[in-house]
Amino acid sequence: MMALSLIRFWWNGWIEKLYLEPDYFFSYRYFEWVKPPGNWTYLLFVIAFVSAIMVMIGWKYRIAIVLFFLSFTYIELMDKTTYLNHYYFITLLSFVLIWLPAANCYSADKGVNKAATVPSWTIDCLKVFVGVVYFYAGLAKLNSDWLIDAQPLSIWLPAKYDIPLLGDLMQQVWVHYAFSWAGAAYDLFIVFFLLWRPTRPLAFVAVIIFHVLTRVLFPIGMFPYIMIVSALIFFPAKVHLRILEWLTAMWPESKAHSKVSEARPLDAKWVDWSKVIVGVVLVLHLLLPWRYLLHPGELFWTEEGYRFSWRVMLMEKAGYLTYKVVDPATGKRKIVNPADYLTTFQNKQLATQPDFILEFAHHLASLHQEKDGPLPAVYAESYVALNGRGSQVYVNPDINLSAITEDTPRTQWLMPFEDTIYGL
């Protein structure tokens, strides 16, 4: 899946569009040093692609999965503008796979090796990781915007009028509510149906239907296919073995059975360390989405703790933003349109996300300080509409953003949200 995704990224010209054309890149906190390395960015994608193929066939597996984790994570961190939940999921999963014996059999390293076994916890932990993604996504949908107002689906679905067979249906209000409630129920309960043997086959059919429909309605890349394939982990080992035997049957007999070795027990120290590391990652996986509770204000408005929490497609934000840069010595003012510095995609992300707005304000201050001397004051004129509500002032226009740090609670420099969203 990831090899195909990387080919698709290159084929569509997104490497150049997203990582070579922009003059500025938005950074994750503590990873400001991660930037696209110019034309060497293509090499990063080559490394990620080759290592993905190596992982798939099990050749030099441990080296390959480390290379894939490092290269893909670097790609993900180069510009915060491109953040997607499934990129984070792949990064998380690839790190976990470093510590699992995924190439113990049916691999180029060890051949078919049918006698090989792996501890059941190595399979169960993957089920938990996938399960948390679904369940937490369902919990995140238990809010008044999603369930009571059918937002943002009431905005998105009518725009799909040109989809064959489904276009007219997407205009119906009851469909918006049906999709909202069905989506929440699916995310909350699908894992339990996949875990229970009697309902597993039907649940997998539901997984396929849900994600294919999602892909038809929304341009979210490879994520639906990744989740369909990930759901196979809930099936018993005999199903996986049948798939692997079918795949190896396609190889020439001599290659498929050229490296059949005796099963050897896993190194006990490695297993112990693997349990500790995977356990720590799992705890973080479970706790990180709840960090928003530590921050004041409406989550959808301030977005403190929104990323890395499996809140998938819950918001439709539209915004307008300009900056005012004021020289403290002369009082001279300059209105800055961020579109003059950013790509269209970056500018759209900037207009509605507080950490982007603050970061770019600091960038403008640095640019003008380098040119004119003293650190200027930077103010924002910003308006945002959230999930179908009317537009309201977003950033307090009287706050000098160049004096605000990332540690400052966003409620201190954003205007109060003029409504209430109930739920998680």
How far apart CA 190 and CA 407 sit, in angstroms, is 38
How far apart CA 343 and CA 395 sit, in angstroms, is 22
Across the range 320-335, mean pLDDT stands at 92
Supply the mean pLDDT for the chain: 89
Is residue 41 within 8 A of residue 362, CB to CB? The reply is no
* pLDDT confidence of residue 61: 87
Place of tokens 């290659």: 255
Dihedrals phi, psi of 179, to nearest 5 degrees: -65, -40
The yes-or-no verdict on residue 254 having pLDDT over 70 is: no
398 within some domain: yes
220 within some domain: no
Beta carbons within 10 angstroms of residue 150's beta carbon: 22
**Which is higher by pLDDT, 411 or 243?**
411
Across the range 120-134, mean pLDDT stands at 92
Is residue 399 within 8 A of residue 376, CB to CB? The reply is no
Q: At what angle do helices 120-140 and 173-195 cross, to 10 degrees?
A: 160
Is 0.75 topped by the overall pTM? yes
How far apart CA 144 and CA 389 sit, in angstroms, is 13
The yes-or-no verdict on residue 259 having pLDDT over 60 is: no
* pLDDT confidence of residue 366: 93
DSSP string computed for 234-293: GS-HHHHHHHHHHHHHTS-HHHHTS------PPPHHHHHHHHHHHHHHHHHHHHGGGGGG
pLDDT tens digits along 29-63: 999 999 999 999 999 999 999 999 999 888 888 99
pLDDT tens digits along 157-191: 999 888 888 888 999 999 999 999 999 999 999 99
How far apart CA 375 and CA 357 sit, in angstroms, is 18
The yes-or-no verdict on residue 262 having pLDDT over 60 is: no
* pLDDT confidence of residue 199: 96
AA letter at 161: Y
For residue 383, give the H/E element and its range: strand 377-386
pLDDT tens digits along 9-22: 889 888 999 999 99
Across the range 339-355, mean pLDDT stands at 95
The encoded tokens of residue 316 equal 């439709």
AA letter at 51: S
Is residue 327 within 8 A of residue 375, CB to CB? The reply is no
Place of tokens 């992982």: 55
Q: Which of 13-17, 222-226, 339-343 has the weakest average pLDDT?
A: 222-226
Q: For residue 73, which of 97, 102, 44, 33 has the smallest C-alpha distance?
A: 44
Across the range 62-78, mean pLDDT stands at 95
* pLDDT confidence of residue 263: 47
Q: How confident is the model at residue 114 (pLDDT cuts 50, 70, 90)?
A: low
Burial letters for 199-214: b for 16+ Cβ neighbours within 10 Å, e otherwise? ebeebbebbeebbeeb
* pLDDT confidence of residue 38: 92
Across the range 404-421, mean pLDDT stands at 94
The encoded tokens of residue 281 equal 């990652």
Q: How confident is the model at residue 257 (pLDDT cuts 50, 70, 90)?
A: very low
pLDDT tens digits along 263-287: 455 566 777 888 899 999 999 999 9
Adjacent-strand bridge partners of 107: 111
324 within some domain: yes
Number of domains in the chain: 1
* pLDDT confidence of residue 265: 57
31 within some domain: no
With H, G, I as helix, E, B as strand and everything else as coil, classify residue 318.
Answer: strand
Q: How confident is the model at residue 255 (pLDDT cuts 50, 70, 90)?
A: very low
Whether omega before 374 lies within 30 degrees of 0, making that bond cis, reads no
* pLDDT confidence of residue 86: 87
Across the range 228-243, mean pLDDT stands at 87
Place of tokens 């070795």: 261
Burial letters for 58-91: b for 16+ Cβ neighbours within 10 Å, e otherwise? bebbeebbbbbbbbbbbbbbbbbbbbebbbbbbb
19 within some domain: no
pLDDT tens digits along 184-215: 999 999 999 999 999 999 999 999 999 999 98
CA 262 to each of CA 111, 122, 232, 237, 396: distance values in angstroms, whole numbers, following the listed order: 10, 21, 27, 20, 68
Adjacent-strand bridge partners of 322: 381
Domain residues for the domain of 382 are: 317-412
Q: At what angle do helices 85-98 and 268-287 cross, to 10 degrees?
A: 160
Q: For residue 150, which of 184, 125, 120, 193 has the smallest C-alpha distance?
A: 184
CA 291 to chain centre: 17
